[in-house]
Homo-oligomer: A and B are copies of this chain.
């Protein structure tokens, strides 16, 4: 799929998709997760070659819009072009934060950070105690965090024992949002314009 021409922009209607890089035969790294309302392959408008592969992490439904239509839209409504630029910026900010997460935080914090980001992006933060649907396998979590699947398991157990969060049957339960944020060194600043990054619900 790498190197393929991309001919359309894709909107995620439901489910989860991921940008996956395969640096070698045996390693996979998830470099972005797209949720309901997110758009990917927007960059294909400018550079019609896939830098990476997009996969569905769960059952997902999507809508594809041909690049030609997008270009036409941009020409008619200049604000659309501006929105694209903003959106690309947002994506880049999230990728940079992932770089920090994968590179510099220890396992528990990295996982906690991922859950914090998802909770905020999904708009599921509601009070200090809440839960949300996030049905990734531990192997998928390991590909997103750069950890081994085994260590993901142990770290999730550790977070659970500490009462920071628990994950079961695809649901993440956060009993103490403030504590989780603290444990993850999470600051949502980089997600500020996320509301603007979701086009549908």
A92 contacts the other chain (CB 8 A): yes
A51-B93 contact given A104-B27, A104-B29, CB 8 Å threshold: yes
* A98 interfacial by beta-carbon distance below 8 Å: yes
- Which of A95, A96, A105, A145 is packed against the most chain B CB atoms within 10 Å? A96
Report yes or no: A51 in contact with B190, Cβ–Cβ below 8 A.
yes
A66 to chain B, nearest CB (A): 17
B92, A88: Cβ atoms closer than 8 Å: yes
A43–B87 CA distance with the chains assembled, in angstroms: 10
Q: Is A192 an interface residue (CB 8 A)?
A: yes
Number of interface residues, chain A, beta carbon within 8 A: 45
Most chain B beta-carbon neighbours within 10 Å: one of A52, A99, A105: A99
Partner of A81 from the list B81, B88, B104 (CB cut-off 8 Å) is B81
Known: A88-B85, A92-B95. A103 touches B46 (CB 8 A): no
The contact string, 1 if C-beta is below 8 Å from chain B, for chain A 82-122, is: 10111011111101111110111100000000000000000
B21 touches A96 (CB 8 A): yes
Interface hits, A153-173 → B, CB 8 Å: none
**Bound Cα distance A82, B31 (Å):** 25
Residues of B contacting A85 in the complex (Cβ-Cβ under 8 angstroms): 43, 45-47, 84-85, 88
CB within 8 A of A86: which of B29, B46, B102?
B46
Tell me, yes or no, whether A23 is within 8 Å of chain B by CB.
yes
Q: A49 at interface (Cβ–Cβ under 8 A)?
A: yes
A84: nearest chain-B partner, CB-CB: B85
Which of B27, B84, B88, B96 is A51 in contact with, Cβ under 8 Å? B96
In contact, A31 and B86 (Cβ under 8 angstroms): no
A68 at the interface (CB under 8 A from B): no
Residue in B closest to A81 when the chains form the complex, CB atoms = B81
> Which are the 5 A-B pairs with shortest beta-carbon distances?
A103-B146, A102-B103, A46-B85, A43-B89, A46-B86
